[in-house]
Structure 1
């Protein structure tokens, strides 16, 4: 579990000084290495603040929209005539929504969206699916019919292609800032990921804070990742696209939990920064660094592929597997249904 951040409470002077020195050294060596802790764990410097009754009202609101350009509503990075082709408003001005979930989905992934609606998308949280534009009128009509049925699609006026994923990610930040400012947390995820939504809601309310947080980016981070230059790589990036040899620390994009102030900071940076097509690197790496934000690791809260296979293939109650919040990406619809059944079986009867 993540520890709630406490800044020196109850520590004698010398351990506090040692902890401060360790944090400074870690920050200094951050781009070159990681600082090991006991038994090979990593020491994570406090990087976020939990809101509690004593400090929640003293902090400024997370969305100072007056700081954005007058043309911001119709701009998405370098798209100057942006609008939402499909839109929904499930937050309805609520100031008490604990969790908003925005799922990156491709237009043709109808069955994946249905699977999420039938499993972990159910509950007190709000789930929306983010899409780009399509060229086929028949496909667009099918999406509009799906949206009339479920009212959970958000579609932007940019083509839904692989190299346009950053538009989709930033569109999600934009939508949150404009249409759901009351959400305490935002989860960005993909449509082939399992979210243990009951455990996640408990985690937010009990292990973090039901009042929310500030400066929180909770994810599975990558540090010191080299830019791929090989023409054989799906992730090839030319020196013109990204001159550096190493990316900044960034998140695996399949599960990123943001506090609302981070949503605004990243969105504002995106609106004034040149486009880069790998959204995980650009949004949670480059833009986060520009906003002076750091990532907090999920650690053991993510299931491994081996644990997924054990849970999917076994009939016991999996009591030896502790609390988890996410399954890994690239899960099949059958695996997601089975994991949801396991989660339901493990929860105490109400």
Structure 2
């Protein structure tokens, strides 16, 4: 049987040890109260707020554009001659769009974009594909032809490359702030991810709020990731690029759901913060910390790669699978088509 513990059990009983223990505690408390700001204990930022009829009109607008620099429209972090080479305007000033989806895509990923248009990209939400510049005139002509057909490409004036992903992520925030401020939620995702858009729209309208939210960042967070220094890693970061040993808590960037006020806060921080090329870390980690925001975990709403393969390989119609919003990244085109088929079949029998 466990012994009952008394208050103070385990503390030193010798007068000398007790005095030493008390002195150590006092020194520690003094240190916390007087240590430099960057070492002080940080309070956890408040969690997200759902907008409801009782508070939706009392909150300030999420996009105070007057707080941006006068030359902001032509600037993207340290790019001083920024412009949208291709642009579309699907929001049309709407103040009632529940979900805007901006998909990171590479110029050559034509089949991936086609698959999304044929599957989860269809519906009442708006989907745009984000691209950087290409060097070949023939490649640019192909993108322009694709855009004339589908009217869903947004291309920025920076080279589309692996180390320019942060430009693309911040361009998503910029485009939303300037061209779709009425969207209640923004989903930033990648073109190899499955989004269960019918379930996501239900989740936003019923589990969250159809009027939107504030201070919301919904994602899969990493809380203790070390900076990779190995020359064998494609994620290698030199001490000059990032001097710290560990990154702040950040999101897996393949699916991040933002409320509109967060879009503006992170965009404003990005415009006045030095560029760092790992966009997940920079935008959803460093900038989130600077804006005093926190991430909310998606948890079981994401299917792991093992669960995806078990599902697409089964003969089931998916009715025995719990609610999920996302399938893990690096999916094949056939996996995305099969998941969409299962989602449609499941909704037909529910």
| TM-score normalised by L of structure 2 | 0.87
Aligned to 2:339: 339
Aligned to 1:88: 88
Q: CA deviation at 1:252?
A: 0.1
Q: CA deviation at 1:88?
A: 0.2
Aligned to 1:137: 137
Q: CA deviation at 1:320?
A: 2.8
Structure 1 residues 92 and 349: CA distance shift in structure 2, 3 A: farther
Secondary structure, aligned partner of 1:268: helix
Aligned to 1:304: 304
Confirm whether residue 77 of structure 1 aligns to residue 77 of structure 2: yes
Aligned to 2:229: 229
Q: What do residues 165-217 of structure 1 show as CA deviations (whole Å, max 9, x unaligned)? A: 00000000000000000000000000000000000000000000000000000
Aligned to 1:320: 320
CA distance, structure 2, for counterparts of residue 239 and residue 332 of structure 1: 36
Does the aligned pair in 1 maintain the 2:45–2:293 contact within 8 Å?
Answer: no
Aligned to 1:160: 160
Does the aligned pair in 1 maintain the 2:45–2:292 contact within 8 Å?
Answer: no
Aligned to 2:124: 124
CA distance, structure 1, for counterparts of residue 177 and residue 220 of structure 2: 24
CA distance, structure 2, for counterparts of residue 349 and residue 94 of structure 1: 33
CA distance, structure 1, for counterparts of residue 52 and residue 121 of structure 2: 28
CA distance, structure 1, for counterparts of residue 349 and residue 314 of structure 2: 21
Q: What do residues 132-160 of structure 1 show as CA deviations (whole Å, max 9, x unaligned)? A: 00000000000000000000000000000
Does the aligned pair in 1 maintain the 2:225–2:246 contact within 8 Å?
Answer: yes
Q: CA deviation at 1:318?
A: 2.9
Secondary structure, aligned partner of 1:265: helix
Aligned to 2:56: 56
| TM-score normalised by L of structure 1 | 0.87
Q: CA deviation at 1:45?
A: 8.5
Secondary structure, aligned partner of 2:194: coil
Structure 1 residues 324 and 46: CA distance shift in structure 2, 3 A: farther
Displaced runs of 4 or more, over 6 A: none
Aligned to 2:329: 329
CA distance, structure 1, for counterparts of residue 64 and residue 288 of structure 2: 18
CA distance, structure 2, for counterparts of residue 276 and residue 217 of structure 1: 20
Confirm whether residue 97 of structure 1 aligns to residue 104 of structure 2: no
Secondary structure, aligned partner of 1:245: coil
CA distance, structure 1, for counterparts of residue 343 and residue 319 of structure 2: 11
* Structure whose alpha-carbon radius of gyration is higher: 2
Matched positions, count? 307
Secondary structure, aligned partner of 1:143: helix
Q: Point out where structure 2 has 5 or more consecutive residues left out of the alignment.
A: 1-43
Secondary structure, aligned partner of 1:347: helix
CA distance, structure 1, for counterparts of residue 82 and residue 146 of structure 2: 23
Aligned to 2:176: 176
Aligned to 1:188: 188
Q: Point out where structure 1 has 5 or more consecutive residues left out of the alignment.
A: 1-43
Q: CA deviation at 1:310?
A: 1.4
CA distance, structure 2, for counterparts of residue 201 and residue 297 of structure 1: 18
CA distance, structure 1, for counterparts of residue 45 and residue 91 of structure 2: 34
